[in-house]
Chains A and B, each alone.
Chain A
């Protein structure tokens, strides 16, 4: 059994997607239909889809999976600096160090991760794609003025890219104070330059395509060429990147929480937070660290598999 693997990981580094920039895309609708057909045949895609679906179901049905409230510290009195109650009939994974039910925390943690991951990626995608589309659109067909717009936006993006992405996210989160919103904005913002560069790249490539030259020659309005032809045809790689970024975003949410930049409630059901709270309690309760860590890894794996299968099905270069 071979699992075909495309040439890049879910890295947020811009170059990871370089391979997609210069490819030759077919017309919008047929492209997506073909991709879907190929996706259905890919075991990688199925694997990813199952994990993602499971994750979404757990997140959505959290209240049905446990009878306790998340972040409830009603058993705080049972936890001491030397002992954390382990699995019992009432708490089948035991308590965590703040006296919450560990199973409840894990289940609601899925909800938190999904929420933070999706919102931050959508945020990053929206801002990044807008910037990228502006730069790419103006750069491709905007003449001299367009070049200036393109250059200005890209210098801004360069500045953001000059700081490694996690550091950028940490910096932004630190500025906004300790809250969930801060984490979401920070991780969204750190994704902006990646999307901007990616979309601009594919739009510039589209700008040189024959049909754009033809449309130009026919005297079609440039805004129309950009909006109804170049943009839809360029979105493929960006959407793939967004799927892959979901995985990165979930890990980075946990990383920021790990560095102490998350919500103000220490007992919040958030995997990264649970991990950091558990790291000095290895000796008596290693499960507190291992379970949330594994949960993060599995979720990230789901999005990565699915994203890569999607990339593969859209990318003619890996189609053989």
Chain B
């Protein structure tokens, strides 16, 4: 009743076409270079663009602000041919000088911002900065503006994932003049500078309107001089609602037009009520990890038994959105390096019991760690996932002792202590690269998995020094096969991330890596 009144007033007073979208958290900053979280990138994707993007709906790199590029013979330098006639929101032209200004800015990040909570992606992918403890490992050589629309970036050692990495929103092109005027990279708190909160300036289809720090609401205005398809809506508003249920409620009462991270239980009811559900191709992986330092997981037969005891389809039915497929290796299918012929561990409780008996672990008590009060794209409902797997393990005679933690205690417990058994964890990919999955999980000795296998670490590291993805692919496929024989964990599934929209929303292009720009979104009557 009350809403009805407000609705009609709004309809009369405001004929602007607005797209309201809800995420789960407020962005941390509007300078994407200092961010590594999806909620920040959701906003900055609308404001900024990088040299490289992705093909719509895929993970493959595609031209964006750079129309084309060429890698040199030695594989160390890249010549970018830039799109002409592009301007930043403040009128500054986008040219080779601007590109080099951005690359140089990243490289010269002051020491106090080099931590993984800020310049994470640069530190990870370019391996070091001009100063600080990682300076020796840095692979950035320099950038030259050869012509107005030609820039050459040189590296000091090969980096096959360079082009794919540039599609990350952290490496968006930002206006050098606006940075000069409003950003202070050396600030004590770079997340609260004028630039990071009030003056983000890129080349994207939307420009900054306002950011209400209290409600977390960000308002973006259409940028009329955008070089590509000018946005269909006048204004895009991003709000934050923490619980999936709350987001679904807000969509139902018409206050938002769409939201991300739909709870698995909300999918069917929303569809029944006429709302649209869009699924991203999954680019993530959920696994059940073994801590081999803890008995009895050092025994391969126990690990195999547990792999055979798990009915992945049932786990998916109990805790993941419809359409999720089970996983048989530690990378999702979209990733370069995915192998079609890894060892399969079929659901076979009898075989599992037999293997346990052989290992002398029949009826063993095992610790099972899982996080609570958290929803990750690869793990929408950890409690349900835990419960489904637990009941299957109990069915083959294991005694499960549950240990739960808040997410922020869980990560240290699992990653930095030996005090955990089997555990649920996963990863959402950043860009198309096997190393971005396997390197993170098994690239070095870790307390999470509790094994030391230098041969495997070496095998994972080897492809990094190759200059092109084509040369890496067969090596990565082999790594995937080998890992599944060693079985350091059981890959469970790649849950499908779902978005929901009001019936009148059209033109939202989903992307596995969330490269979702809203210029073609329309909101009908």
Report whether chain A binds chain B: yes
What is A's interface to B at a CB cutoff of 8 Å? Answer: 73-74, 76-77, 79-82, 97-99, 174, 177-178, 260, 264-267, 277, 279-281, 283-284
Q: Are B264 and A73 within 8 A (Cβ)?
A: no
Among the listed B269, B402, B403, which residue makes an inter-chain contact with A283, where contact means beta carbons less than 8 Å apart? B269
Q: With A76-B391, A81-B264, A99-B391 in contact, do A280 and B269 touch (Cβ < 8 Å)? A: no
**Cα-based distance from A43 to B266 in the complex (angstroms):** 47
Give how many B residues have a beta carbon under 8 Å from the other chain's beta carbons: 36
30 contacts between A and B (CB under 8 A): A73-B390, A73-B394, A74-B394, A74-B395, A76-B388, A76-B392, A77-B314, A77-B318, A79-B318, A80-B317, A81-B265, A81-B319, A82-B265, A82-B267, A82-B322, A97-B384, A98-B387, A99-B391, A174-B406, A178-B404, A260-B372, A264-B402, A264-B404, A266-B383, A266-B402, A279-B245, A280-B265, A281-B265, A283-B269, A284-B269
B386 within 8 A of A: yes
What is B's interface to A at a CB cutoff of 8 Å? Answer: 244-245, 263-269, 311, 314, 317-322, 372-373, 381, 383-384, 386-388, 390-392, 394-395, 402-406, 409
Q: Are B318 and A81 within 8 A (Cβ)?
A: yes
What residues of chain B lie closer than 8 Å to A99, measured between beta carbons?
387, 391
What residues of chain B lie closer than 8 Å to A260, measured between beta carbons?
372-373, 406
Q: Are B403 and A77 within 8 A (Cβ)?
A: no
**Cα-based distance from A268 to B263 in the complex (angstroms):** 23
**Cα-based distance from A277 to B406 in the complex (angstroms):** 16
What residues of chain A lie closer than 8 Å to B314, measured between beta carbons?
76-77
Residue of B whose beta carbon sits closest to that of A100: B387
Q: What is the distance, in angstroms, from B177's C-beta to the closest C-beta of chain A?
A: 47
Among the listed B321, B391, B392, which residue makes an inter-chain contact with A81, where contact means beta carbons less than 8 Å apart? B321
Residue of A whose beta carbon sits closest to that of B272: A283
Q: Are B391 and A74 within 8 A (Cβ)?
A: yes
Q: What is the distance, in angstroms, from B492's C-beta to the closest C-beta of chain A?
A: 15
What residues of chain A lie closer than 8 Å to B266, measured between beta carbons?
280
What residues of chain A lie closer than 8 Å to B265, measured between beta carbons?
81-82, 280-281, 283-284
**Cα-based distance from A80 to B395 in the complex (angstroms):** 18
What residues of chain A lie closer than 8 Å to B390, measured between beta carbons?
73, 76
Q: Are A280 and B391 within 8 A (Cβ)?
A: no
Given A77-B311, A260-B373, 10 extra CB contacts under 8 A: A77-B318, A79-B318, A81-B264, A82-B322, A177-B405, A178-B372, A178-B404, A277-B383, A280-B265, A281-B265
**Cα-based distance from A81 to B269 in the complex (angstroms):** 11
The SS class assigned to the A binding surface is loop
Name, among B265, B390, B394, the residue most crowded by chain A CB atoms within 10 Å (CB to CB): B265
What residues of chain B lie closer than 8 Å to A174, measured between beta carbons?
406
What residues of chain A lie closer than 8 Å to B245, measured between beta carbons?
279-280
Q: Are A265 and B406 within 8 A (Cβ)?
A: no
What residues of chain B lie closer than 8 Å to A178, measured between beta carbons?
372, 404-406
**Cα-based distance from A277 to B263 in the complex (angstroms):** 13
**Cα-based distance from A262 to B451 in the complex (angstroms):** 33
What residues of chain A lie closer than 8 Å to B409, measured between beta carbons?
177
Q: Are B263 and A280 within 8 A (Cβ)?
A: yes
Q: Are B317 and A81 within 8 A (Cβ)?
A: yes
Q: Are B388 and A81 within 8 A (Cβ)?
A: no
**Cα-based distance from A79 to B392 in the complex (angstroms):** 13
**Cα-based distance from A81 to B313 in the complex (angstroms):** 12
What residues of chain B lie closer than 8 Å to A74, measured between beta carbons?
391, 394-395
What residues of chain A lie closer than 8 Å to B394, measured between beta carbons?
73-74
Q: Are B318 and A80 within 8 A (Cβ)?
A: yes
Q: What is the distance, in angstroms, from B383's C-beta to the closest C-beta of chain A?
A: 4
What residues of chain B lie closer than 8 Å to A77, measured between beta carbons?
311, 314, 318, 388, 391
What residues of chain B lie closer than 8 Å to A264, measured between beta carbons?
402-404
Q: Are A81 and B320 within 8 A (Cβ)?
A: yes
Among the listed A82, A177, A266, A283, which residue makes an inter-chain contact with B387, where contact means beta carbons less than 8 Å apart? A266
**Cα-based distance from A280 to B265 in the complex (angstroms):** 7
**Which are the 9 A-B pairs with shortest beta-carbon distances?**
A76-B391, A264-B404, A81-B264, A73-B391, A266-B383, A260-B373, A80-B317, A264-B402, A98-B387
Q: What is the distance, in angstroms, from A111's C-beta to the closest C-beta of chain B?
A: 19
Q: Are A76 and B322 within 8 A (Cβ)?
A: no
Q: What is the distance, in angstroms, from B328's C-beta to the closest C-beta of chain A?
A: 21
Residue of A whose beta carbon sits closest to that of B311: A77
What residues of chain A lie closer than 8 Å to B406, measured between beta carbons?
174, 178, 260
Q: What is the distance, in angstroms, from A77's C-beta to the closest C-beta of chain B?
A: 5
